[in-house]
Amino acid sequence: MNEQIESLPVLPIKNSVLFPGLLMPLTAGRPSSVAAIDAALASEDKELLIVTQRDSSVESPTVSDLYTIGTKAVVKRMMRRQDGAVNLIVQGVERVVLIKIEQADPYLVARVRMAPVPEETNTEVEAMRRAILELSARAIQLAQPNAPVEVTQMLAENEEPLQLTYLIGSVLGLPVEKEQGLLEAPTRLDALRLLHSYLLHELQVLELRNQINVQAQGEMERQQREYLLRQQLRAIQEELGETSPEQADAEMFRKQMDEAQLPEDVRKEAERELSRMEKLPQASPDYHVIRTYLEMILELPWGKSTEDNLDLAHARQVLDEDHFDLKEVKERILEHLGVLKLNPTANAPILCFVGPPGVGKTSLGQSIARSLGRKFERLALGGMHDEAELRGHRRTYIGAMPGRIIQAMRRAESKNPVLMLDEVDKLGRDFRGDPAAALLEVLDPAQNHTFRDNYLDLPFNLSKVFFITTANTIDTIPSPLLDRMEMLRLSGYSAEEKMEIAHRYLIPRQLKESGLTDQQFVLTDEALNHVIARYTREAGVRQLERAIGSLTRRVALRFAEGDTTPAIVRVEDLPEMLGPERFTFELARKQLPPGVATGLAWTETGGDVLYIEATLLPAGRGMTLTGHLGEVMQESAKAAQSFIWAHAERMGIDPNVVRRSGVHIHVPAGAIPKDGPSAGITMATALASVYTDTPVRSDTAMTGEITLTGLVLPIGGIKEKALAARRAGITRVILPRENQKDLRELPDNVRAEMEFIFAERVEEVLVAAMPDLAPRLTLPKAA
């Protein structure tokens, strides 16, 4: 065509391409662009060159940053903005080729040659035009199903294929490279082909998107339909005069709320939740969360309590019926009942039963509940390591539940039950929290009238609850917790007590279990004693009850098989019925060689007798200690040794022996760990015995802590130790003077049978233990 050449100001644009014949709104902010626009507007024709930048991030493009084919355009409208930028509407006029840049500053001026796309009309162009029209009609249908038909028609009316191409190309939202490709197409046919491929791609994308939309819509519609059906169901029910399940639920709760004596704030909260629940459909998960919560509130004993039976005589009778002995514990319990009788508003006490397993801590709790006429609930705390187990989870968690305390209160159905927290010494503790800390709140009378469970989130009054905790040892109970409780010790039972317990409770209970009568089964006292001594070793009576249980079952089997002669179980029958004896006693050794002394130990299952052996090592030096001894016990041994060495002469010990030979102390059995200071005087006695070559009396056991100056200090566990000594056949026990008061704990017969010697100084111990040594011993002046 005509080789027209002219110079035009250049306006580089980003991210889009202006096609000839089309309008485009633009905003120009770059100073060079604004200058170019000003120049164009200053001309009579208002013409400039619009070229697309290859890279939209370039701020001041040079010729290499621009495509070489652009569009000559006319400014149609222009508007300067406050910030100096310019809004304008331009219309493409003609495709041009950029020949060279004539000026770069203050704005680009380019020399361009008009490059219109040559006219061409043939059947292929026409075929392509129709194909494009068809594709675009489909695309419109997909993109905007309710677009007016005129749009399609308007496209079809556009006879000029190139204009059609540009028009569709500009509205497809193609990437700049593709739009530019469309502009650069050398012939109409090329342009049409390019557009055709773009349209096809666009159509695929649209179809895929539509497919996704349809799927999503299907899902939505299913839920929608379900919801609608439910609404209809409700409408039908209302029409029929039936109430909807939600309403029925709400009605029921409202009625229950009126009946339950809820405190004001609880009632308010419950009503708020109820009105929330009413607004929810039954299918909503929240509905059930609230429902469970309301049920929980209604089941809790907010105002219900049982009447206390404060008849002390009755209480005493019940306690005595259920438990043998335990005089001191029973007195303390009765004292508390007495207080409750005089002052009914007094807070219930918090007791802690400490004692070995099987001594009846749990059943004592039950008896207290029975004597008071209160409900009894038991919570095992052993191994609990999560605070949330006690205090519950907040309701926002899925599957949240109230804590064990509140659950126990619900089971108790009264706000003043006896709540037994078992195994409080076995509470765990880890990173998830410390349940002992939660217990502090529960067990503090100053705080527990507003105990707040995380789930309930309402204050619940625990101050009327009679708390009883149990523990095997107080060592592992955190001290703030220990501080809140009143300690009651239940020590082990003696053989006589066990006999009594067996006769009163265990045998009748086992007979009942096995379906026998007391005529059909008789256990002789000797046999019972033998079972206690040889088949069990415990402070409590659990093993004993099991052993009696296997005896009664044996007999029951015989009866069931047809032999109905009453069974009398004697000592001789035991090996056959219970198997070989399980425990051999550390019976008192008949004769002790010099260097061996009898000590007494306290264990969790009661007391035990232990022998301390000392021997001289003629070629050795110093002292060797063996027998798995703890640090305190080793230090105690060293104190004993130092005392003996320091006062060797006063005790008639040859100083040369002390100087020349070492000494070895061993405490059997070697595999059992031992610790504590209470073997101090025993070790001193063993040392004195081995150095003086004097035997210790074999009927004498001793226990007590020793100091470096030879004082004998008091120790604990007197009752268990005394019982162990007696069981082993020992008749004399040397104890620290200050432990004299503890003898009260012992049964009368034990006190009568045994001889107790009280010592203040080691010398007194030695005299009592080794009468032969007495003449050789010089007592210190102070004694």
Partner 1 sequence: MSLFFISAEAGAAMAWRPAADIYRTPEGWVVKLELAGVRKEDVNVVASGSELFISGVRRDRFVEEGWSHHSMEITYSHFERVIELPCDLSRASISIEGHHGLLLVRVVTSHEEER
Q: Least distance to partner 1 from the beta carbon of 98, Å? A: 20
Spatial separation of the C-alpha atoms in residues 520 and 566, rounded to whole Å: 4
Q: Least distance to partner 1 from the beta carbon of 127, Å? A: 23
- The DSSP code sequence of 354-366 is E--TTSSHHHHHH
Residue 42 or 752: which CB sits closer to partner 1?
Answer: 42
> Which residues are within 8 A (CB) of 111 and not within 5 positions of it... i.e. 6 or more apart?
5, 6, 7, 98, 99, 100, 101, 102
- Angle at which helix 188-239 crosses helix 123-143, to 10 degrees, equals 20
Residue 150 or 219: which CB sits closer to partner 1?
Answer: 150
Question: Which residues is 613 bridged to in the sheet?
Answer: 596, 666
Residue 99 or 147: which CB sits closer to partner 1?
Answer: 147
Residue 147 or 774: which CB sits closer to partner 1?
Answer: 147
Residue 25 or 515: which CB sits closer to partner 1?
Answer: 25
- The DSSP code sequence of 706-753 is E-TTSBEE--S-HHHHHHHHHHTT--EEEEEGGGGGGGGGS-HHHHHH
Q: Least distance to partner 1 from the beta carbon of 208, Å? A: 16
Q: Which amino acid is at 87?
A: N
Q: Least distance to partner 1 from the beta carbon of 146, Å? A: 12
H-helix or E-strand spanning residue 134? helix 123-143
**339, 451, 573 from 345: Cα distances, Å:** 10, 18, 58
Q: Least distance to partner 1 from the beta carbon of 41, Å? A: 4
Spatial separation of the C-alpha atoms in residues 775 and 242, rounded to whole Å: 106
Burial of 539 (0-12, 13-18, 19+ CB in 10 A): buried
Asked if 205 and 232 count as a contact pair (C-beta separation under 8 A), the reply is: no
Residue 23 or 495: which CB sits closer to partner 1?
Answer: 23
**352, 374, 532, 542 from 329: Cα distances, Å:** 11, 19, 24, 20
Active-site annotation holder among 33, 678, 689, 719 = 678
Asked if 658 and 691 count as a contact pair (C-beta separation under 8 A), the reply is: yes
Residues at the site binding partner 1, with contacts judged by CB under 8 A: 20-23, 37-38, 41-47, 74-80, 88, 91-93, 140, 143-144, 147, 151, 154-155, 158, 163, 167, 171-173
Q: Which of 33, 108, 112, 114 is nearest to 78 (CA)?
A: 33
Q: Would you call 14 a catalytic residue per the annotation?
A: no
Q: Would you call 661 a catalytic residue per the annotation?
A: no
Radius of gyration of the chain (CA): 50
Q: Which amino acid is at 209?
A: R
Asked if 36 and 60 count as a contact pair (C-beta separation under 8 A), the reply is: no
Q: Least distance to partner 1 from the beta carbon of 431, Å? A: 55
Q: Least distance to partner 1 from the beta carbon of 105, Å? A: 18
Residue 77 or 100: which CB sits closer to partner 1?
Answer: 77
Active site positions, annotated: 678, 721
